[in-house]
């Protein structure tokens, strides 16, 4: 038997019929990322049923030198869970491990397998009068393990932090098959390096997350959603500071979008309407929340916030959603920007961040700068101003051919956008991770000291380089700059 055949035989014996397949039809959906940007090949799709099977499989992979591509919901944004086209790796799916092991309402903690889908976690928390304070578009497919491996963000980071802030404990299988047992949630634990933190956001290159302890919060009692028209993004920044001072802990979300994005959504969604009577250069969507019995105070707070902002000249016009339907309509505008912009034509999308207090200045500089450098393009920035994270899209000139444009001018545009954000001290990946999409850009623009540290840690923990090869960690400089 060949090395691969011997591995497959051993893996089959370990995992059983349900746990391993090489059937091309069964494997096919998991060899391409959900946006269809990357397609790879694999010798098998492994679906272990528990942590012990994951550990056994990783040991087999170490023995037979088989690369492993861990995969959760396969809904990542950077191709981090898609194998390369060598066909030498296995895809290790965590989806079969989908049990919520324990949910303790008193301590507000849940222990769940890596394969639990975010939507299911939300539902389980809601049934107990609690909530899991992170959500994003892919909640119907994204898994807890994938959210941890990519340190996912979303629309509640302003108030509750990224996935990192939700993780109280972690269990993972390391490259030698050892099980890192950090699942017990200790609020204080100073026994050396915080290995859990190293695993969060490591995109499956250092270990395979198999389970996690996560924090839950009391369910929201009520919310109000505000919509403000503003003369500029700088004004939005001032309104953000004002909102933080006025609303404090009640401020749950602060999103911004330019007039261009609103109009794209109004064109795209026939039923959508402009929340205000006149057009404004920028808009802010503000969500305030309260606990049980806080509805009345929250309504007052919302009115006070807008009244004081208006008085201080921080906004031009504003409205408060009168009910949940209107609140949903306002959020629908925000959530429809990406598809609405896509419907216009090809665009290069950049998930970037700079320090929160520099975001407005950055966009006001970078948007016209990109349009000047690439004539005919349109720069659009929208998103999470409160996190310093804006989705910075450069729309192609009219008539550009989808597919061809992205591969030619589009690549130059992305490199220029990444250069700019790096010059401003920002990040080329705010919340979508590096994966295979931005690995070489990270190698090009990353701080050399940080890159060296990352390579050292990767080599130390995964000396055979079997865990998610080709993702996240750029090769040594001499290998990428010949």
Q: Which is nearer to its own copies, 162 or 224 (CB)?
A: 162
- Is residue 363 at the binding interface for its own copies, with CB under 8 A as the rule? no
CA distance 376 to 353: 25
Selected from 16, 29, 355, 368, the binder of its own copies by CB under 8 A is 355
- Applying CB under 8 A, the site for its own copies has a residue count of 77
10: three-class secondary structure by DSSP: helix
Residue with tokens 């590096």: 434
Q: Which stretch binds its own copies (CB under 8 A): 20-28, 101-109, 130-138, 400-408?
A: 101-109
- Is residue 79 at the binding interface for its own copies, with CB under 8 A as the rule? no
CA distance 16 to 148: 28
Task: Give least dist CB 206 to its own copies, A.
Answer: 7
- Is residue 368 at the binding interface for its own copies, with CB under 8 A as the rule? no
Task: Give least dist CB 397 to its own copies, A.
Answer: 30
Q: Which is nearer to its own copies, 24 or 448 (CB)?
A: 448
> Using alpha carbons only, how large is the chain's radius of gyration in Å?
23
- Is residue 186 at the binding interface for its own copies, with CB under 8 A as the rule? yes
Q: What are the E-state strand segments in 134-221?
A: 167-173, 179-182, 208-215, 217-218
CA distance 162 to 237: 21
Where in 416-435 is the site for its own copies (CB under 8 A)? 425-434
Structure token digits, residue 216: 């839950």
- Is residue 353 at the binding interface for its own copies, with CB under 8 A as the rule? yes
Give the up-direction half-sphere exposure of residue 103: CA atoms within 13 A in the CB hemisphere.
Answer: 18
Where in 40-69 is the site for its own copies (CB under 8 A)? none
- Is residue 477 at the binding interface for its own copies, with CB under 8 A as the rule? no
CA distance 24 to 382: 40
Selected from 278, 449, 478, 479, the binder of its own copies by CB under 8 A is 449
Residue 92 to residues 66, 104, 264, 334, 424, Cα–Cα distance (Å):
11, 30, 40, 35, 38
Task: Give least dist CB 274 to its own copies, A.
Answer: 30
Residue with tokens 């909530």: 131
Structure token digits, residue 41: 């090949």
- Is residue 307 at the binding interface for its own copies, with CB under 8 A as the rule? no
Q: Which is nearer to its own copies, 20 or 420 (CB)?
A: 420
Residue with tokens 């939300």: 122
Task: Give least dist CB 189 to its own copies, A.
Answer: 4
Selected from 14, 310, 356, 475, the binder of its own copies by CB under 8 A is 356
Q: Which is nearer to its own copies, 397 or 465 (CB)?
A: 465
Selected from 40, 146, 229, 388, the binder of its own copies by CB under 8 A is 388
Q: Which stretch binds its own copies (CB under 8 A): 44-52, 99-107, 136-144, 267-275?
A: 99-107
Q: Which is nearer to its own copies, 140 or 355 (CB)?
A: 355
Across the strands, what pairs with 205?
Answer: none
Q: Which stretch binds its own copies (CB under 8 A): 4-12, 342-350, 352-360, 408-416?
A: 352-360
83-108: burial string, b at 16+ Cβ within 10 Å, e else: bbeeeebbbbbbbbbeebeebeeeeb
Where in 102-141 is the site for its own copies (CB under 8 A)? 104, 106-108
Tell me whether strands 251-258 and 222-230 are parallel, antiparallel or unpaired: unpaired
CA distance 170 to 200: 9
Task: Give least dist CB 357 to its own copies, A.
Answer: 5
Structure token digits, residue 137: 């578009």
- Is residue 398 at the binding interface for its own copies, with CB under 8 A as the rule? no
- Is residue 252 at the binding interface for its own copies, with CB under 8 A as the rule? no
- Is residue 460 at the binding interface for its own copies, with CB under 8 A as the rule? yes
Alpha-carbon dihedral sign for residues 283, 289, 295, 300: negative
């Amino acid at each position: 038997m060949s090395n691969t055949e011997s591995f497959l035989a051993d893996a089959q014996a370990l995992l059983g019929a349900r746990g391993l397949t090489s059937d091309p039809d069964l494997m096919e959906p998991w060899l391409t990322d959900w946006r269809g940007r990357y397609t790879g090949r694999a010798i098998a799709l492994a679906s272990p049923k528990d942590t012990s099977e994951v550990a056994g499989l990783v040991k087999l992979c170490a023995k037979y030198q088989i690369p492993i591509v861990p995969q959760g919901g396969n809904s990542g944004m950077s191709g981090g869970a898609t194998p390369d086209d060598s066909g030498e790796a296995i895809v290790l799916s965590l989806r079969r491990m989908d049990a919520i092991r324990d949910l303790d309402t008193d301590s507000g903690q849940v222990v769940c397998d890596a394969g639990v889908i975010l939507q299911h976690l939300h539902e389980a928390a809601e049934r107990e009068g609690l909530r899991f304070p992170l959500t994003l578009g892919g909640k119907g497919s994204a898994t807890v393990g994938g959210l941890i491996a990519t340190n996912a963000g979303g629309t509640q980071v302003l108030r509750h932090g990224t996935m990192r802030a939700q993780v109280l404990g972690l269990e993972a299988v390391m490259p030698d098959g050892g099980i890192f047992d950090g699942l017990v949630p200790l609020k204080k634990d100073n026994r050396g390096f915080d290995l859990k933190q190293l695993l969060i956001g490591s995109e499956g290159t250092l270990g395979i997350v198999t389970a996690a302890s996560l924090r839950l919060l009391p369910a929201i009692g009520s919310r109000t959603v505000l919509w403000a028209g503003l003369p500029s993004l700088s004004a939005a920044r001032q309104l953000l500071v004002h909102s933080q001072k006025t609303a404090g802990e009640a401020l749950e979300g602060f999103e911004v979008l330019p007039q261009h994005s609103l109009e794209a959504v109004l064109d795209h969604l026939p039923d959508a309407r402009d929340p205000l009577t006149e057009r404004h250069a920028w808009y802010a969507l503000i969500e305030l929340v309260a606990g049980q019995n806080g509805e009345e105070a929250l309504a007052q707070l919302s009115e006070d916030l807008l009244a004081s902002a208006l008085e201080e000249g921080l906004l031009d016009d504003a409205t408060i959603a009168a009910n949940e339907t209107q609140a949903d309509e306002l959020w629908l505008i925000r959530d429809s920007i990406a598809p609405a912009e896509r419907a216009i034509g090809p665009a290069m999308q950049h998930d970037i961040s700079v320090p929160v207090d520099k975001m407005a200045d950055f966009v006001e500089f970078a948007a016209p700068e990109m349009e000047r450098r690439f004539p005919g393009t349109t720069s659009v920035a929208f998103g999470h101003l409160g996190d310093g994270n804006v989705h910075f899209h450069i729309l192609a000139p009219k008539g550009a051919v989808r597919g061809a444009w992205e591969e030619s001018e589009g690549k130059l545009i992305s490199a220029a956008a990444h250069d700019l954000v790096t010059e401003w001290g920002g990040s080329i990946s705010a919340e979508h991770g590096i994966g295979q999409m931005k690995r070489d850009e990270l190698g090009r623009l990353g701080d050399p000291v940080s890159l060296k540290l990352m390579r050292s840690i990767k080599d130390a923990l995964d000396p055979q380089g079997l865990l998610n090869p080709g993702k996240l960690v750029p090769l040594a400089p001499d290998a990428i700059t010949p």
